[in-house]
Structure 1
Amino acid sequence: MNSPSDLVIRRLMIGHTKIALFYFDGLIDKNSVNDFVIKNIQSEMSHLESAATNPEALLKKLKNEILSISELAVVDTLDDLSISILSGDTALMIDDAKQLLIIGTKGWTSRSVEEPVTESLVRGPRDGFTENIGTNLVHLRRRIRDPNLRFEQYRVGRRSKKSLVLSYIDGITHPEIVKEVRRRVKTIDLDDVPETGYVEQWIEDDFLSPFPQLQNTERPDKVSAALMQGKIALFLDGTPFVLLAPLTFAETLQSPEDYYERWYIGSLIRALRYLCAFIALFLPSLYVALVSFHPGMIPSNLAFSISSTREGVPFPSFIEAVFMEVTMEILREAGVRLPKPIGQTVGIVGGLVIGEAAVSAGIVSPIMVIVVAVTAISTFAIPFYSFAITIRMLRFIFLIVASVFGFYGIILAYIMINIHMANLKSMGVPYTTPFAPSIYSDWKDLVFRAPLTFFTKRPKYMQTQDDKRMGE
């Protein structure tokens, strides 16, 4: 390691035998090293001198009798040593010994548990995942006290050696899904994996598809509910975002709050999200198609009103729509990148000022400002951020085909997207399940949510080993 400045080496003598402790400053809990390692060795020095002539016997005595720390391991390779101390452990070396002792002393500072920022709820738990993978796994253990909950650890990143944990419930999750995820995780060959987004892009089925094929979340309650359905979760050290697989289209418009409220409230809110997704995807293109190609389909009074507001506007409706949509995307991106108090002000005030100025200047019509504003607000109602971005991207495609072919272009583009989605899979599970293939037993938790007592079995499309979710 070329003697880094933050590597601490504490040397001790037991009789005539040299021992040394190696650890990185800032990664370990110094109280544990001082109180339970160094102090124990120094206080028992007289008892250790008898075994000091035999390095292997001394190592065994230290492990079994002297060190009062629960996490101890014996290793014999340089790779194991370097990974351990770089992960926050302390290494104890004895001169002439063929093995060394790894002492669990992790203790770096980390962010405290806070409410998730990207997935706010009115009703539900307020705790969220952090960047510490150990804390995240504890969150899951607290919620699922099932002895069949499994954690499989992998090292990803040829240089970073990050911890990646695959989690599932043995006896519920289909073995083929677990086997497939294992296979894909083992193929990850990167220097560094800083975030689960790298893992998602590496293991997804179709990297050319605009649709997300794995779900990311900061919510422990969402992960525990997904595992109970037979899904798998992927935790990565250094990020609060956990991946859930497989993912279907219907789940992109679902929120944990749908289940925390009574069934008719959850059903209405979910149906509203489907309406918002439709508006966010189609409203600007429908307006352009009606105004440019099919004005006869607009009611007379509304057509006269639109015509009067567009009087004096120098651009066709397509240019208007693209100008306003691009402006809204710029404002949205600027609001995200700026500090939170300033970002909210820029998003709201900027939209109002630019919209009013554009109408006053005669560049766009007032009804176009309304259409774009309603579209932008509708995208915020989609709970899954990655899917909302997909909707925003596809909106421009629909705008282009609507400006060239009118309604026919919109219908053709919609058919092509449906063909793509019908062929798309997530870890081998069809993306459009349970719409197509149609699994009618799973429709009770689709657009509308049935009462809780109707969920006697787990989703059929997951092909779980234990499909019973409720007692008789």
Structure 2
Amino acid sequence: MDQTLQDLIYKFEDNDDFFLQRDFFADRPVYLIGLKSLIDMTRSRSFMHQYLDQAISNHTALSDGALMQMLGEVRGINLQDIASSVYDGKLIIYFEQVQQYVVAEPVPNLLTRLFDTPTNENVLQGTSSSFVEDIDHNIGIARKQFSSESLRVKSFSVGQNQQKRIALLYADGHVDMALVEQIIGQFETYIDHDINHIQDLSRTLGLSPWSSVAKFKTTEMPQEASHSLKTGKVVIFVDRIPFALILPNLLWDMFCLDNDHNYSLPLMIILRSLRIVGVLMTLIVPALYVALVAVNPEVLRIEIALTVAQSREGVPYPALVEIILILLILELIMEASVRLPRSIGPTITMVGGIILGEATVAAKLVSNLLIIILAATTIANSTVVGFQNSLSIRLFKYLLLILAAIYGVLGILAGVVIICAYLSSLNTFGIPYTSTTQMKERGNHG
């Protein structure tokens, strides 16, 4: 047996799904090498034998070179290259007489789910397909949705201990090529960095993982990825991650969906305005309650002030402690709704919210008015586009609460200014987060 084959067997000796089988293709002895967990070996061998029998019947004789080119890509003897192809699910055919390897495409085992509706994003009057875990399928879905000659795809294999494929998609003529070159440069510079999640990807691209605002816009919907390509953004797919990562993520993406264009213009404007109102309510209303109850009650009319005071009668805690207590319970309920099984999650969280809300009010731990306010703000927070954006809004809400408890209404104003200044300071590869210029326009000028 060839020394390279022996080295290959030694390299995979701890993998029970590794196979090395002897066979004959056109009366030539070969070894078939691969992983049973990734390759449907029975169907692959049957398909190749039928293909070769048909080719031999059309030709009187086939040379070794012609036979190998028919089966796949001819490679030289390189142990690392062969092992990498095996891990990628390829079938390696070793021709013993000429001592050369062919990397062939086998019939794979189906290891990914079929196309399904989005599980984390709901869409009305739009495409119902979603991205899956397989990166090649995702690229195909994106090509189907954005059927244009301008679409470009750049692929990378990154990682040292665990190689993973990454695909970079952009529309030539729409995107600013300086942005694309920066991203490609980062991948090529840190090609040995392992990428298992978005934090690893952020570090590889040189983005701070400590930013409280998401640098990527994530979406399961091909329609949103296609719209991003049209507007000059870059779409990144990571193998085994079932959604697209869009760069750069801008402030306006928090309020806009491409699906909004399926409605008439007045309805689209109203929907987007509602999302803006929802963000403002989530940020300001809880802090405003604390400010008007604890610091600036004189701002209220006497009738409203008396109603608020009556609702807090018997509550032993300051307004800040009261609202933090309920907010903590709401955060626990929302986190539990993510972790619980779908069959019981909605029931448990709804019953838990009702029981806890009624019990806390009956025990005079919080006021009735506060329950109404926080229920409204929790609903308003869900109007934001993108789950990661809603998390950022929930975080900023606590900053305004603390400032409102100390400085009242002026503290809310100061907090809004601080948040606006922080958002204005953010940028992704030199593109400001608060930019209102279409990326397509930047690409045309670039």
Give the stretch that moved more between structures: 226-235 or 252-261.
Answer: 252-261
TM-score (normalizing by structure 1): 0.86
CA positional deviation for 1:2:
3.4
Give the stretch that moved more between structures: 411-420 or 323-332.
Answer: 411-420
Secondary structure of the corresponding residue to residue 100 of structure 1: strand
Show the counterpart of 1:92.
Answer: 93
CA positional deviation for 1:50:
7.6
Letter in 1 for 2:67: L
User: Structure 2 vs 1, CA of residues 289 and 13 (structure 1 numbering), >3 Å: closer, same or farther?
Assistant: same
CA positional deviation for 1:247:
1.7
- For residues 83 and 425 of structure 2, the distance between their equivalents in structure 1, rounded to whole angstroms, comes to 45
One of 188, 193, 205 as aligned partner of 1:186: 188
Show the counterpart of 1:107.
Answer: 108
Show the counterpart of 2:269.
Answer: 267
Letter in 1 for 2:328: V
Say whether 1:7 aligns with 2:11.
no
- For residues 94 and 339 of structure 1, the distance between their equivalents in structure 2, rounded to whole angstroms, comes to 52
Show the counterpart of 1:78.
Answer: 79
CA positional deviation for 1:224:
0.8
- For residues 418 and 119 of structure 2, the distance between their equivalents in structure 1, rounded to whole angstroms, comes to 35
- For residues 7 and 42 of structure 1, the distance between their equivalents in structure 2, rounded to whole angstroms, comes to 27
CA positional deviation for 1:399:
1.2
User: Structure 2 vs 1, CA of residues 97 and 48 (structure 1 numbering), >3 Å: closer, same or farther?
Assistant: farther
Give the stretch that moved more between structures: 91-100 or 380-389.
Answer: 91-100
Give the stretch that moved more between structures: 202-211 or 398-407.
Answer: 202-211
CA positional deviation for 1:106:
5.2
Secondary structure of the corresponding residue to residue 465 of structure 1: helix
CA contact (8 A) 1:204 1:213 kept: no
Secondary structure of the corresponding residue to residue 358 of structure 1: helix
CA contact (8 A) 1:14 1:48 kept: no
User: Structure 2 vs 1, CA of residues 43 and 127 (structure 1 numbering), >3 Å: closer, same or farther?
Assistant: closer
Secondary structure of the corresponding residue to residue 221 of structure 1: helix
Summarize deviations over 1:261-305 as a string: whole Å, max 9, x none.
Answer: 111111101100000011111211111011111101112211111
Letter in 2 for 1:88: G
User: Structure 2 vs 1, CA of residues 344 and 16 (structure 1 numbering), >3 Å: closer, same or farther?
Assistant: closer
Show the counterpart of 1:154.
Answer: 156
CA positional deviation for 1:98:
5.4
CA contact (8 A) 2:44 2:107 kept: no
Show the counterpart of 1:35.
Answer: 46
- For residues 27 and 369 of structure 1, the distance between their equivalents in structure 2, rounded to whole angstroms, comes to 54
CA positional deviation for 1:132:
1.0
Identity %: 25
Secondary structure of the corresponding residue to residue 160 of structure 1: coil
User: Structure 2 vs 1, CA of residues 365 and 322 (structure 1 numbering), >3 Å: closer, same or farther?
Assistant: same
User: Structure 2 vs 1, CA of residues 272 and 339 (structure 1 numbering), >3 Å: closer, same or farther?
Assistant: same
CA positional deviation for 1:161:
1.2
CA contact (8 A) 2:12 2:18 kept: no
Secondary structure of the corresponding residue to residue 10 of structure 1: strand
Please list, as runs of the form range in 1=range in 2, the aligned pairs for 1:90-239 lying within 5 A after superposition.
Answer: 90-95=91-96, 97=98, 99-105=100-106, 107-109=108-110, 110-188=112-190, 192-196=194-198, 198-203=200-205, 205-239=207-241
Secondary structure of the corresponding residue to residue 22 of structure 2: strand
Letter in 2 for 1:73: E
CA contact (8 A) 1:193 1:199 kept: yes
Letter in 2 for 1:2: F
TM-score (normalizing by structure 2): 0.90
Give the stretch that moved more between structures: 28-37 or 393-402.
Answer: 28-37
Show the counterpart of 1:247.
Answer: 249
User: Structure 2 vs 1, CA of residues 162 and 90 (structure 1 numbering), >3 Å: closer, same or farther?
Assistant: same
CA positional deviation for 1:185:
2.2
Say whether 1:297 aligns with 2:299.
yes
5+ long unaligned stretches in structure 1: 52-56, 435-441, 443-458, 468-472
Show the counterpart of 1:349.
Answer: 351
- For residues 170 and 98 of structure 1, the distance between their equivalents in structure 2, rounded to whole angstroms, comes to 43
Show the counterpart of 1:470.
Answer: none
User: Structure 2 vs 1, CA of residues 374 and 15 (structure 1 numbering), >3 Å: closer, same or farther?
Assistant: closer
Say whether 1:284 aligns with 2:280.
no
